[in-house]
């Protein structure tokens, strides 16, 4: 497993294990035995960053990670906080007291005295623009040794830009060949910010394994993500990604993952395998880079997709 610089003084694996899909939230159920198998196998592959959230499995994913890897000092956890599931209906909360309390609870579940990365989970631009008190509280958590770094998992480019202005150490956002301009178009102001790229397979679409009439099961977030027509159109656009195949890049999945890894701004690609086979494929197909892709291949695909209006 290759590594890359992360926050000052820290190096992490270029693939991170994201645990939303594994938690059973979002994509449908996964057994505890499979969750354990994927986490332990990821560690055996040399993955050292585990990305999670206090809400995944209502806390059970953090518990699982803590039980399996909490004592492993070579492992870093990045966990996302800021969704209050106890309030009816559930709501976003980023007030300092709530985040401090969540931080304590996540530390307990992850069996750590210090969180490696505390990420604010999908805050709004306005929250970040009015975050002086929260940023001060995060600074205190850092000074007190309760967190080593903080950041934002952003749902859009404006949120990511506001996060940079608020002074994040770490930024997480969607980055893939269909959706690359958010990450690439940000003004980093010359700052060294650790970047976690998520949704690198566009929720599985970029693997190119779905039939034209793909149906998602109830409870799978992808049911709501595309209309039937949008999904068909997206599947047709995959022909452009096929143009990236050649040499040791044998699958669309490999091309999609390498597109992300080829960007030196990215600290780690957060992969979301839901079973052992998917993990094995992703680790294998990340290849022996750099160079991850032959010169010019990604740029040609990027230009073609832009001409078709198929990427942003
Ligand atoms: N707001 C946030 O902070 C946020 C948002 C999204 C994601 N994330 C994190 O990022 C991680 C990954 O992102 P993501 O779930 O959005 O998208 P992704 O990595 O683009 O897609 C994940 C999905 O792709 C499919 N897949 C995975 N490996 C595969 C393989 N080898 N072959 C074929 N299909 C494969 C799986 O679905 P099927 O097998 O069911 O098709 C899986 O659920 C998540 O687990 C989560 O930890 C964070």
Architecture per CATH, 3-205+254-290: Alpha-Beta Barrel (3.20)
Residue among 15, 17, 21 whose CB has most ligand 1 atoms within 8 A, to mutate = 21
> What is the per-residue pLDDT across 1-29, written as a single tens digit (0 to 9) for each?
999 999 999 999 999 999 999 999 999 99
Write down the mean pLDDT value for the chain.
96
Determine how β-strand 91-92 pairs with β-strand 83-84. Answer: antiparallel
Domain ranges of the chain: 3-205+254-290
- Asked if residues 270 and 51 have their Cβ atoms less than 8 Å apart, the reply is yes
Burial class (CB in 10 A: 0-12, 13-18, 19+), 153: buried
Give the pLDDT band (50/70/90) at residue 206.
very high
Q: What is the mean pLDDT of residues 286-293?
A: 90
- Asked if residues 138 and 99 have their Cβ atoms less than 8 Å apart, the reply is yes
Q: What is the mean pLDDT of residues 300-311?
A: 89
pTM for the structure as a whole: 0.97
Ligand 1 contact via 198 beta carbon (within 6 Å) = yes
In the predicted structure, residue 288 carries a pLDDT above the cut 90: no
Residue among 18, 45, 55 whose CB has most ligand 1 atoms within 8 A, to mutate = 18
Ligand 1 contact via 18 beta carbon (within 6 Å) = yes
197 C-beta neighbours (distance < 10 Å), count: 26
Nearest CA to ligand 1 atom 2: 153
Give the pLDDT band (50/70/90) at residue 295.
confident
- Kindly give the number of the ligand 1 atom that is closest to the alpha carbon of 153: 3
Q: What pLDDT is recorded for position 185? A: 94
């Amino acid at each position: 497993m290759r590594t890359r610089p992360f926050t000052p003084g820290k190096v992490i694996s270029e693939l991170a294990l994201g645990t939303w899909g594994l938690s059973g939230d979002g994509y449908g159920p996964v057994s505890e035995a499979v969750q354990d198998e994927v986490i332990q196998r990821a560690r055996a592959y040399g993955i050292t960053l585990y990305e999670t959230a206090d809400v995944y499995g209502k806390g059970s994913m953090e518990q699982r990670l803590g039980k399996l890897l909490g004592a492993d000092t070579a492992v870093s956890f990045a966990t996302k906080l800021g969704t209050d599931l106890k309030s009816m209906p559930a709501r976003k909360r980023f007030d300092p007291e709530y985040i401090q309390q969540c931080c304590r609870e996540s530390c307990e579940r992850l069996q750590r005295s210090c969180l490696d990365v505390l990420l604010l989970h999908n805050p709004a631009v306005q929250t970040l623009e009015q975050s002086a008190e929260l940023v001060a509280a995060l600074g205190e958590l850092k000074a007190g040794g309760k967190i080593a770094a903080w950041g934002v998992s952003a749902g859009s480019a404006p949120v990511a830009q506001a996060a940079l202005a608020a002074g994040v150490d770490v930024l997480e956002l969607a980055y893939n060949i269909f959706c690359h301009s958010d990450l690439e178009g940000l003004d980093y102001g010359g700052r060294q910010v650790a970047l976690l790229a998520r949704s690198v397979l566009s929720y599985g679409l970029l693997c190119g394994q779905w039939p034209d009439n793909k149906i998602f099961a109830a409870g799978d977030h992808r049911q709501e993500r595309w209309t039937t027509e949008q999904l068909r159109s997206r599947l047709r656009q995959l022909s452009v990604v096929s143009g990236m195949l050649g040499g040791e890049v044998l699958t669309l999945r490999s091309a999609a993952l390498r597109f992300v890894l080829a960007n030196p701004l990215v600290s780690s690609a957060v992969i979301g395998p839901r079973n052992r086979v998917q993990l094995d494929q992703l680790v294998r197909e990340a290849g022996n880079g750099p160079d991850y892709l032959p010169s010019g291949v990604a740029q040609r695909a990027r230009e073609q997709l832009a001409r078709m209006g198929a990427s942003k």
